[in-house]
Chains A and B, each alone.
Chain A
Amino acid sequence: AQRVTQPEKLLSVFKGAPVELKCNYSYSGSPELFWYVQYSRQRLQLLLRHISRESIKGFTADLNKGETSFHLKKPFAQEEDSAMYYCALMNTGFQKLVFGTGTRLLVSP
């Protein structure tokens, strides 16, 4: 069965520090992975997907099939990055999106 693990419930960093939000997955097929973000009082929204290999708001994420990981990184955190971040895996067999438990990122001034 597919599973997404986000080991940290809370990650607290200072402004300007590097950030890495961890995501590990288990899936026997070829995964499609995503990061979603929920800012305070806003809707949950897609941040980025591994297929596009893009950088959004300074965030990047690389799919590492050997380590079954899809960690989200940003070299210099900003206060406005404070939010709840969810890693998600598309189960291409059942065509459903499975979410991890989420990591709350808190960036302090």
Chain B
Amino acid sequence: NAGVTQTPKFQVLKTGQSMTLQCAQDMNHNSMYWYRQDPGMGLRLIYYSASEGTTDKGEVPNGYNVSRLNKREFSLRLESAAPSQTSVYFCASGTDLRSGELFFGEGSRLTVL
């Protein structure tokens, strides 16, 4: 089993460009999450999805949109990238929202010039 798979692993964008980060999990988990990791700020929750068909804002949702395409997939879209969105993005999944054990992807390093 692959666990949580994210693509792409690296991406460089110009300001104003759009892109989508893809995430898929094969553990039949209900909840899925997108975090960003910045030096000195730790992991901050962008959006999460309790189950297929539902999404909710986290701590830093501005500038992002998400789609829970099905139970397996949860994508993160940047409509108009800004340099402040330069970060490492992590997708994670858990059995449900009450689970504190999350399974993380390898991360996607995004640079916005």
Residues in A lying within 8 Å of B, measured CB to CB: 6, 9, 32, 34, 43-46, 49, 86, 88, 90, 92, 95-102
Contacts and interface: CB of A to CB of B under 8 A. Distances in A.
Nearest to B43: A99
Given A44-B90, A86-B42, A101-B41, A95 B97 contact: yes
Contacts of B106: 43
Contacts, number: 50
State the main secondary structure of chain A at its contact with B: strand
B100 A90 contact: yes
A86 B35 CA distance: 14
A97 B44 CA distance: 10
Nearest to B90: A44
B43 A46 contact: no
Interface in B22-54: 33, 35, 40-45, 48, 50
B61 interface: no
A32 B100 contact: yes
B25 to A, nearest CB: 12
